[in-house]
Amino acid sequence: MMKLLQYTFSVLLIGLSCQSVQAHRLDATETSIKLNPRTQHIEVIHKFYLHDVNHLVQQHFASNPDADKANKNEAFVEYILSSVDLKVGSLTQSLTKELAFIGAEEDGKFFYIYQEAYPESYDELQLIQLDLSEMQNSWKPSHWLFSVEIQPNDAKSFVLNKAEYKYQLEL
């Protein structure tokens, strides 16, 4: 009976320790796409858990262990900018409004990447197309939440899981 109790306790302890290791990596991301009514620009904010960013950078981009943190973060930003193809446009014209990079920053436990699109008119804001195909053979969060608010008080959202790479949203 004592051995069974010790065995059960050992299995429980190992299970809890494995769970805490897995819980440390969240592997989730959030992207907010909003129209700024003052400037009429589309603002895009990608929000990553800093621990996930650090883990990815360590795994894939840190060929030089002495490279400073800023260079590693720049490598992550370049990866995201080259892998996330997000376009805004109309239903009748081709989607040519690509995003401009504004900046990136660490804030607490999060890492943010900021982008903007500059539509020529409000009528162009009818469609958002997302393509993450570049991430197919590399890292992509298990769950990526996108929230879109182009029309005032009309928010829409969708989640891409690890197996999904393309999405189109009519506004």
User: What would the pLDDT profile of 95-137 be if each residue is shown by its tens digit?
Assistant: 556 789 999 999 999 999 999 988 777 666 777 888 888 887 7
Q: Give just the sign of the alpha carbon dihedral 50, 146, 154, 98.
A: positive
d(CA 156, CA 171): 9
Reply yes or no on whether the pLDDT at 42 is more than 80: yes
d(CA 96, CA 120): 11
Better pLDDT: 26 or 168 = 168
Reply yes or no on whether the pLDDT at 49 is more than 50: yes
d(CA 95, CA 44): 16
Mean pLDDT of 65-93: 78
Better pLDDT: 11 or 114 = 114
Better pLDDT: 49 or 170 = 49
110, 124, 137, 118: which is closest to 31 by C-alpha? 110
Mean pLDDT of 2-17: 39
pTM metric for this prediction: 0.77
Q: What is the pLDDT of residue 67?
A: 61
Chain-centroid distance, C-alpha 161? 11
Name which of 4-13, 63-72, 129-138 the model is least confident about. 4-13
Q: What is the pLDDT of residue 65?
A: 59
The strand pairing partners of 110, in sequence order, are 49, 107
Q: What is the mean pLDDT of the chain?
A: 76
